[in-house]
Structure 1
Amino acid sequence: MNPCVEPGCPGFYEDGWCNVCGSPEPSQVPETVTPTPAQAMAPTGADPGEETGNPASAAPNVATPAPGRSTRAVRAAVVRRQRAQAAQRRSRLGMGLTQVAPVPTGDPTRALMTDPVVPEERRVCPNCGAKVGQAAGEAGGRQQGFCPQCRAPYSFTPKLAPGDLVAGQYEVVGALAHGGLGWIYLARDKNVSDRWVVLKGLLNTGDADALAAAVAEQQFLAQVKHPLIVEIYNVVTHDGDAYTVMEYVGGTSLKQMLKERMARRGRYDAFPVDQALAFVLDSLPAFSHLHDLGLLYCDFKPDNLIQEGDAVKLIDLGGVRRQDDLESPIYGTVGYQAPEVAEVGPSVASDIWTIGRTLCVLTFEFRGYQSEYAASLPPVSEVPPFQEHDAFYRLVARCCAPDPNDRFLTVEELRLQMIGVLRQVVAAGATQAATLSAHSTTFEPPVATAETLSWWELPALSHDESDPQMDWVASLPAADPIALHAALLQAAEVTPEVLVARAHAGIRTGQQAWFDEAVRGMIEHDPWDWRASWLRGLWALSQAGEAPDSVRAAGQVAAGHFSAVRDALPGEVAPRLALALASELGGYSKAAELDYERVWRTDAGYVAPAAFGLYRVRRARDDEDGAIAALDSVPASSRAHPRARWLRAELLRQRGSLADLRESVHGVSRLTLDPRQRSSFNVTIYEQALRQVDEHGEQPGWRLGEVPVTHDGLRRALEKEYRYLADYTPDPLERAALIDRANAVRPWSWT
């Protein structure tokens, strides 16, 4: 594709139009004409006859309109096309895997509160936590006063009013919101081009914990610089109170978007799963940045993620704290905060819990998430998104595992799996095989090209580059597993990579003692290492015997192990393929077909083995059309394509109708076959066709390749193929039999 020539545009021309700015490719622009002086004075979109006094907007060359169409009509059509293309372009959210409409920033003043009052249900004593400022009879509750229980003072009155000039620089416009730690005001920075800023102060000046948290937030924000996190500009004081001056982020919070969706529908209207994943996925680098700095966010929820344009930004770092801080008060929100935080404090694992809970609130009406299900998830049977997208459920289930050790270890690990889950969710509604491949850091691409799939053809584990023995293990010759195992026993350090290689050697040689010892070592090193389950699944498949009962038992055992890997890595496709194979062998044909279909829709690199799996499962239940459709999906670029075409031709041949035979011959005609194989195929086809003609009569207008579907035509073709086949047959007796058959089938001749 050619790059766009428009100044500053990074796009490329596709089908004659730029895929970014929508401008036509120069070679695609209709023939231009030299304008008249009047036309040269016309602004863009104006008719030549219109008067204008703005020569700076002149358009010296315009597309020649068709007869009866003005230049304005031509340009209007171009604009419509540009807008249509812009609407079709994928947003940046969710890596472009799905479509999320951008949110305009709008006028900040429209977000101001008309009556800045703290709701009564949020008024609590800063000292004892008792409710304060509640209404008594018809009188409204007081915004400030003394706690009736402990007599501590409280105040929920905003300290700043419109027009106040804070620190001689920030002119207050009004209150935007009230958060857990303070009032949030909109202001203009009079020293920097009147830019919009946000001032954040204390909600209750009598709350010592809130004061400490505010100071801590200011310290944290000073070191946090990330494009996905709201930026702090300054820390100032005004009338004895401290205020954090922050970047103004336009757009809309996800919570507000949920409210607007509910207002339009009159009921809870959750985001589609793919959009919710896109929102959260794009916020995860901000979490990684905080964790790299030794900080924890602690209070992630839909309120604190804003969509601005086609990007998101994390706001309100009021609950941020250091990972090694054991003294400061902990701030969080009931329903989002991990259950162990109250006892052991926040951690990376508790941040991951909040991410999972946020995904739940975004995708379904999570009734009881702050009460009955405050520390658990509702049953899958009650949550349609969990039922529709099992990968999404497994992602959330691991984020919100009761044991923090069962959650994702890092946000980066979560991010990689979330990308894979998003791919699966987007692909769920597809009716065609995937056309794009996804890169995995965990598994190597599959190499299977045959219609059968064995344990050694499943995707191999990628090497762990963080393992100190990785390079040494990779350098060992792997052709002889016995010699490899002997070399691995001499490892200077027994690391997980060494143990994985030993286990593989045990599987390849059938040495259970080698295998068991290696897997025990892996579990002792890390009880949560899912690779132990993967290897156990491979071992079970490798031990399957020839008897059907042995194969079924091995598949059922392997399915249990591969299920554990799928749960640990919900975004990976390889465990799905392995589980589908194990389910197929174990007799769980419906489950196998579902997983083969998921793999087939999600990753182009897995289409061939998944298509062959669908072919086997469907053929086993006599779904011939489904089996043919699966084979048709193997792309021509795949090394497995010739084998798929051959199996398709064989399946059509076995069905045996003349239409099937004709299509079978057509499919095989484009394959490269050895002469004996092609002659054998043709002999079988012509014999079947001859039986059809004997039973149903000739079809002179039909052809099998070049052969007319008549007695005479088929007999002559069959005679020729018998003789060709005899030429390639080394056995004298077999060759003689073929010649006899050729003579017998030859049409009678009277000359």
Structure 2
Amino acid sequence: MTAKGRARPPDCDRPDCEGCSADGTGFCQVTGRRLRPPGQRAPAESPPTAGTRRRIATGLLFSVEPAGDGLLDLPFVRTPSPEALVVTDPQMPLGGKTCGHEGCTAVVGRPHAGQPALATGYCPHCGHPFDFTPRLAAGDLVGEQYRVVGALANGGLGWVYLAHDTRLENHPVALKGLIHTGDPVALHLAGEERRSLTRLDHPGIVRIINYVTHPARGAAEDDGRTGYIVMEFVGGMQLSQVKDRMAGGDGPFGGPRVLEYVLTYGCRILDALDHLHREGLVYCDLKPNNVMHHEDRVKLIDLGAVRRIGDRDGTVLGARGFIAPEVVHHRAEGLSPRSDLFSVGMTLRALSDEAFPGDRPPGLGGESYERAVARATAEDPRARYASARDMAEQLRGVLREIRALRTEREHPEPSALFAPTAALLDASLGRVPPLERWLGGERRPVLDRGLPEPDRVPVILPVPHPDPADPGAPLLGQPTASGPRRLIQQLYASGRSSVEIPLRQCRAHLELGEPDAAAERLAAAREAVGAPAPYDWRLSWHQGLLHLARREPAAAEREFDRVYADLPGEYAPKLALGYCAEHRGDAAAAERYYQAVWQRNRSQGSAAFGLARLRLAAGDRRGAVQLLNGVPEVSRHHDAARTACVRILAGRLCSDGARSLPGAADLTEALVRLPRLYLDEGHRTGPARDRLEAELLDVALDWIRADSTPAAERCGGTLFGTDDEEFTIRTRLEQKLRGLAQQARTPDGLGALVDLANRVRPTTRV
């Protein structure tokens, strides 16, 4: 039975015709399609190509100039004259249209069984007529002001026309009307679009200028009028046309920056969506066709599907493949800002599919991008970004990472989620050796590369900023001189219901070396979060810290990987993952994580020390020094990096005798650097400087005595410019060791250091 209760005639066997009637003419009276002869099989469906060809042909009219060097710069798209963009052969939209009559979701007007798309006909599901032909023709004067030039494109609800404003020196404008002038749903949505656009004022959203009416085609002046929205004319390429250029590797869209452009599109789209969401609106229909790249800007051009957040009535419009799953399943009830973010993710994926793999960025950049898109397009909306602003923040971080890895120039930006820390992911390399270095009984200790033990790392990694919306945030933001034990008590006394307070107590217990108590406070935080706990990165981060405190780096790595999936643009999870990979001996993975942090921000000394340790493990002394030299003076880790350079230049890298020793050039450079170090609060002499110089002289003595050292390097004043290098080194080392003896805290220590001084004392000259 049909929707109207009619039986389906036996001579109509079209799969898209439900209950049509045939009258012997050979055409279906409902769909208007030719009937097949009895027994003839339908040919295979072929994808519509006319719209694609027209899109590509129109895209070729634009010229594209290279982008500037700014982070968010895009290629400059020069638009031809507006008249050149007019469509000369208006055809059905690609893939047909949703009927929409009284909520009908059937697709009408698409190609079928080898036959072209129909511009007019009847819905095969509900029998309602449709007409997709343009309502206006060249020369029509709309609203007694706007002279029509021709059709530009068809949007979700109707054709868009180019017109000249006759009252404003023929300034080009865009007119948008309805295809279904008698469709109440379409009329309602058009009214919604007009009202939404009127309220909006954002450079990334098309601006409404006016609203006018025009007599409906084929009707008398007083029989009916069609409403038209007058918008600013936005001349540029749709992102679907940009996608075509990416696929062809055309000009700037085929270069190494193509994925950076995709991320820039995402940031600018999200900026516009953030404005919409703050106005209480959802966009609903984001896709490449609805985003225009004009000049060096980006603009949303079709707000026909915009609706107020919480509005559960009416038909939901959207493009197949870009609609969030909850909207597909629950229609209007599934709409939310997070459903818009899903569409953004799918739009970026559609663009980047043309960029990979030939233009894949180096290092970790490609994976960070994929994780950013994966979170936006998660099946469960709770797993997506909380807002457009949050997503844009992560995309900017990924963009900076990719740009830095490609150019090898830093692109730093302070994190909004993690506070910078003075702690350094290093156990010893950047520190002056303690006195115990000479009291341990080992005459020639190998340089410790400084990888911290797992239980020391929780207090070294960056600390999350408190969520400003949390009730405990004001209390946690107050400076305090209390130690961790007293802080825990004070936070208990506050009596506030909060997630951030137990998380801070968890970290305080970790500072005290109390993992069990930290676990109890983490459980309290998880209970306070409630149902969204599986999607809260803060809990995963602290769980990772807890695993490290319990010396479970493999379990910690899994938690930090979850944080990386949620926050792909942040430093902190990559630094933590770099440590975990280094600890388990995966140098390649550790290198990728550390490089992603280091190349983006050279003030991140922990990443530089991680990379230096990897170089030392490979025996690359100079490579380690070169990395640490790159830590800038503005970094709080600058002095530690300079100290580490001296220790590396003069250090024994292994226990293999002379092969572990530095060369003459390394030792000479270490001696030159030593006086320039900031030690002992800036004093030229002091206990720290004495210990570091003693370590250097100790290695120099072994070097001068090594049998494998060429004679040319053992004489001639290569280190101190004296005739007897060994005598000079022994004399200075004896003096330093006697000075270190004064730092000893016990009689045994004093005696041990005096004995060492006596052993290195040079033979008395006669």
After TM superposition, the score normalised by the length of structure 2 is: 0.75
Take 1:149 and 1:474, find their aligned partners in 2: how far apart are those partners? 61
Aligned residues: 628
Deviation at 1:296, TM superposition (A): 0.7
Residue of structure 2 equivalent to 1:573: 571
| Correspondence 1:742 to 2:740 | no
Write the deviation string for residues 571-612 of structure 1: whole angstroms up to 9, x where unpaired: 111121122223333444432222111111122331x11111
CA contact (8 A) 2:238 2:293 kept: yes
Counterparts of 1:516 and 1:738 in 2: how far apart (Å)? Answer: 50
Q: Residue 153 of structure 2 is aligned with which of 170, 174, 177?
A: 177
Q: Is the 8 A contact 2:418 2:463 kept in 1?
A: yes
Percent identity, aligned pairs only, is: 33
Contact 1:205 1:211 in 2 (8 A): yes
Other-structure match for 2:615: 618
CA distance in 1, matches of 2:635, 2:97: 65
Select 1:299's aligned residue among 267, 285, 296: 285
* Corresponding residue number in structure 2 for 1:24: none
Which of the residues 252, 255, 261 maps onto 2:240?
255
Matched, 1:722 2:708: no
For residue 335 of structure 1, the aligned residue among 316, 321, 333 is 321
The one-letter code of the counterpart of 1:635 is P
Q: Post-superposition shift, 1:148? A: 6.9
Within-5 A mapping of 1:31-46: none
Q: List per-residue Cα deviations over 1:333-391 (Å, max 9, x = no partner).
A: 0011111102333211110100000110111149xxxxxxxxxxxxx999967986111
The change in CA–CA distance for 1:540 and 1:701 in structure 2 (over 3 A counts) is same
**1:615-647 deviation digits (Å, cap 9, x = unpaired):** 223323444444333323222343433332333
How far apart, in 2, do the equivalents of 1:328 and 1:652 lie? 73
Matches within 5 A, 1:593-742: 593-606=591-604, 608-653=605-650, 654=652, 655-672=661-678, 674=686, 676-677=690-691, 679-692=693-706, 695-699=709-713, 703-708=717-722, 712-723=724-735, 725-726=737-738, 729-730=741-742, 731=750, 734-735=753-754, 738=757, 741-742=760-761
Contact 1:182–1:202, Cα closer than 8 Å, also in 2? yes
Q: How far apart are residue 457 of structure 1 and its match?
A: 1.8
1-structure distance, mates of 2:759, 2:520: 64
Corresponding residue for 1:113? 87
With over 3 angstroms needed to count, the CA separation of the structure-2 counterparts of 1:412 and 1:702, relative to structure 1, is farther
Deviates more, 1:422-431 or 1:712-721: 712-721
Letter of the structure 2 residue corresponding to residue 331 of structure 1: L
Aligned residues of 1:364 and 1:383 also touching (Cα < 8 A): no
Q: Would you say the 8 A contact 1:530–1:568 is kept in 2? A: yes
Equivalent runs, 1:241-640 vs 2, <5 Å: 241-262=226-247, 272-344=258-330, 345-365=334-354, 389-431=366-408, 434=410, 436-449=411-424, 451-452=426-427, 454-475=457-478, 477=480, 479-512=482-515, 514-526=517-529, 527=533, 528-544=535-551, 554-606=552-604, 608-640=605-637
Q: Quote how far apart the aligned CAs of 1:176 are.
A: 0.7
Distance 1:530 1:278 in 2: 25
Select between 352-361 and 502-511 the one with higher mean Cα deviation: 502-511
What SS does the aligned partner of 1:306 have?
strand
Cα 1:197–1:596 shift into 2, 3 Å: same
In 2, Cα distance between equivalents of 1:355 and 1:638: 37
Cα distance change on mapping 1:728 and 1:288 into 2, 3 Å: closer
Distance 1:460 1:302, change over 3 A: same
Task: Give the 3-state SS of the residue equivalent to 1:228 in structure 2.
Answer: coil
| Contact 2:149-2:162 at 8 Å conserved across structures | yes
AA matched with 1:407: R
What does residue 212 of structure 1 align with?
188
Match for residue 548 of structure 1? none
1:164 to 140, 144, 160: 140
Tell me if the contact between 1:658 and 1:692 (Cα under 8 Å) persists in the aligned partners. Answer: no
Q: Report the residue type matching 2:376 in the other structure.
A: C
Deviation (angstroms), 1:736: 7.0
Residue 191 of structure 1 aligns with an amino acid whose one-letter code is R
* Ranges in structure 1 where 5+ consecutive residues have no aligned partner: 1-85, 91-95, 367-379, 545-553
User: Considering only aligned residues, what root-mean-square deviation do their CA atoms show, in Å?
Assistant: 3.3
- CA distance in 2 between counterparts of 1:682 and 1:125 reads 83
Distance 1:390 1:703, change over 3 A: farther
Shift of 1:315: 0.8
Q: Which amino acid aligns with 1:664?
A: A
TM superposition shift of 1:741? 4.1
Give the CA deviation at 1:204: 3.1
For structure 1, which segment, 686-695 or 107-116, has the greater mean C-alpha deviation from structure 2 after superposition? 686-695
**CA 1:142–1:352 in structure 2 vs 1: closer, same or farther (change >3 Å)?**
closer
Q: How many Å separate the matches in 2 of 1:382 and 1:429?
A: 14
Other-structure match for 2:197: 221
In structure 2, do the counterparts of structure 1 residues 728 and 179 end up closer, same or farther at CA, with 3 Å as the change threshold?
Answer: closer
What TM-score results when the alignment is normalised by the length of structure 1? Answer: 0.76
> Who is 1:23 aligned against?
none
- How far, CA to CA, are the matches of 2:538 and 2:618 in structure 1? 34
Does the 8 A contact of 1:449 with 1:639 survive in 2? Answer: no
Name the CA shift for 1:342/1:134 in 2 (closer, same or farther; >3 Å).
Answer: closer
Q: 1:508–1:449: structure 2 CA closer, same or farther, 3 Å change rule?
A: closer
- Could you tell me how far apart the structure 2 residues matched to 1:742 and 1:337 are? 81
CA distances 1:299-339 after superposition (whole Å, capped 9, x unpaired): 11111111222211111001111111111100000011111
Q: In structure 2, what residue type is equivalent to 1:186?
A: L
Q: Which has the bigger relative contact order, CA under 8 A and spacing at least 6? A: 2
8 Å contact from structure 1 (residues 707, 714) kept in 2: no
Please tell me whether the aligned partners of residues 175 and 184 of structure 1 are also in contact (alpha carbons under 8 angstroms): yes
Query: Does the 8 Å CA contact 2:715/2:725 hold for their aligned counterparts?
Result: no
**In 2: Cα distance, 1:176 partner to 1:445 partner:** 52
Separation in 2 of the partners of 1:189 and 1:466? 49
User: How far apart in 2 are the matches of 1:136 and 1:197?
Assistant: 39
Q: Which amino acid aligns with 2:339?
A: S
Q: 1:409 to 1:108 in 2, by over 3 A?
A: same
8 Å contact from structure 1 (residues 349, 409) kept in 2: yes
Tell me what 1:152 maps to.
128
- 1:483 Cα deviation from its structure 2 partner: 2.5
* Alpha-carbon separation, structure 1, partners of 2:426 and 2:126: 77
Structure 2 CA distance for aligned equivalents of residues 503 and 577 of structure 1: 21
Instruction: Output the CA distance in 2 between the equivalents of 1:89 and 1:241.
Output: 44
When residues 715 and 468 of structure 1 are mapped into structure 2, their CA distance, relative to the original with a 3 A threshold, is same
Aligned counterparts of 1:449 and 1:143: Cα–Cα separation in 2:
68
For 2:171, the equivalent position in structure 1 comes to 195
- Structure 2 letter corresponding to 1:418: L
